[in-house]
Amino acid sequence: MGLPQRLPPDHIPRYIVRYNAPAPKLRVAYQRLAAKNGLEEVFKTLVDMGALNSLDMDESRRLVQILCLPSTKNKFVSYMYPHEFDDTIRRLDQGPNVAQPLVPLIRARAPPDLIRLVVSRGADLDMTWPYRHRELIRPLSAAILANSESLFLLLLQLGAKIDGAKKANARFMSRHGLHIPVFAAARTMATASHGRAMMELCLGQGSEINYRIPSFDVHLGRLINPARCYLVTPLLVYVQSIKSWKSQAGAPSPAEELAWLLEKGALLSSKHKSGLEWLRGACDSTPTCIEWLLAKWGVAALRHPNFVAVIKFLLQRGEGRGHIHWTFLKHFVHELGHYAHARWRASVHDELKALTVTTLSYLSEDEITITLEKVIRNMRSISSSSG
């Protein structure tokens, strides 16, 4: 039986009787349709008729997902709480993410009064919520991703912690640490135009620019090994989050964004004694920004001026000194095997040569001598073992 999507509120009871259908089932179905189509009066009538009490576990999740969509403008959520909607959800053993959908409402840029209402009903301001691609976020992080300074400041006013809880979920390791607001801002710097403004907001509220978290997702050799973890900072998360090296009109280049982060006190090295999120077990040594960039993008990215500018910027700041020979072996020499096709080899050789010249231009004569000696020695060792 097809359900008409537009029906006057006073016709709903007659429609239920006419088709001799179970009233609770139709109430729930119409409630979802009313929310989808913005039928405010129909939705209110169904709530008054007790449709919320007829929800099962699946219907409650579907309804909350619809109510939190930006297209519904969240105007229906406030109708439910006077009818003890959250108590109904608890009886269904659904949990707080359905009973008080704080993060979905923030991501939909809900009005401040609605956020206050949900918080007054018991929403946890520092609770972690599942996000995409094996990530967690908190309400403050959701406000950053939604580019809502007003909601960010409101959450702080209501008691949210700028760096979240000191202990993350022991059963879950995040990729980029989006549950910490300063990491969400760092990722947003690489993916949206409002990233720098959000980072300014976090730092102005006392966020630690060199806060460290364990991250399992570092592309070394283009492989992801969840069994190994590394300590990363917002600066490295920004580097990891870059999606394209094409210049954007009116937007700062990646090298300019890195320079701005350093001006704000960010450190290239992760070996400092700054704040560290709770960690179970030991971490491997953190790769440098140069290592990470070359491992993820390969030498083929050297055709992009912005990529070369970032490599030069990092070398000028001393990034890579002391272990540049290992970087050559780990990424440059193995690239020749990665691009084994003859058509690619010539361009790869040219790109390797260009990067070698660029790299060595930022080292002293002694460092160049030591580096070349180690590279030659290790390459001979590789050749003899392969032969």
AA letter at 355: L
pLDDT of residue 104: 85
pLDDT of residue 182: 95
Q: Does position 184 have pLDDT exceeding 90, yes or no?
A: yes
- pLDDT tens for 201-239 read 999 999 999 988 877 654 544 444 555 677 888 999 999
pTM for this model (two decimals): 0.74
pLDDT of residue 47: 73
Backbone angles phi, psi at 106, to 5 degrees: -65, -45
pLDDT of residue 77: 73
**Whether the Cβ atoms of residue 296 and residue 222 lie closer than 8 Å to each other:** yes
- Residues ≥6 apart with Cβ < 8 Å to 297: 245, 307
- Residues ≥6 apart with Cβ < 8 Å to 11: none
Question: How high does pLDDT run on average in the chain?
Answer: 72
- pLDDT tens for 259-311 read 999 999 998 865 554 455 545 555 666 777 887 787 778 767 777 889 888 88
Task: Measure the CA–CA gap between 160 and 104, rounded to whole angstroms.
Answer: 16
Q: Supply the DSSP symbol for 192.
A: -
Q: Does position 106 have pLDDT exceeding 70, yes or no?
A: yes
Q: Which of 62, 88, 52 is nearest to 44 (CA)?
A: 52
Report, as an integer, the average pLDDT of 73-97: 64
Q: Which two tokens stand for residue 189?
A: 């710097």
Residue 33 pLDDT grade (very low, low, confident, very high; cuts 50, 70, 90): low
Pick the most confident of 171-175, 251-255, 299-303, 383-387: 251-255
pLDDT of residue 146: 92
- pLDDT tens for 301-317 read 777 889 888 888 887 78
- In this structure, the dihedral spanned by the alpha carbons of residues 354, 359, 363 and 369, taken in order and rounded to 10 degrees, is -70
**Whether the Cβ atoms of residue 38 and residue 72 lie closer than 8 Å to each other:** yes
Q: Is 135 left (phi over 0), alpha (psi -120 to 50) or beta?
A: beta
DSSP string, 300-322: GGGGSHHHHHHHHHHHHTTTTTT
Report, as an integer, the average pLDDT of 360-368: 61
Residue 15 pLDDT grade (very low, low, confident, very high; cuts 50, 70, 90): low
- Give the residues across from 215 on adjacent strands: 230
Task: Measure the CA–CA gap between 271 and 194, rounded to whole angstroms.
Answer: 29
The CA distances from residue 5 to 25, 28, 29, 44, 330, in Å, are 15, 13, 10, 15, 61
3-state class (DSSP) for residue 212: strand
Residue 186 pLDDT grade (very low, low, confident, very high; cuts 50, 70, 90): very high
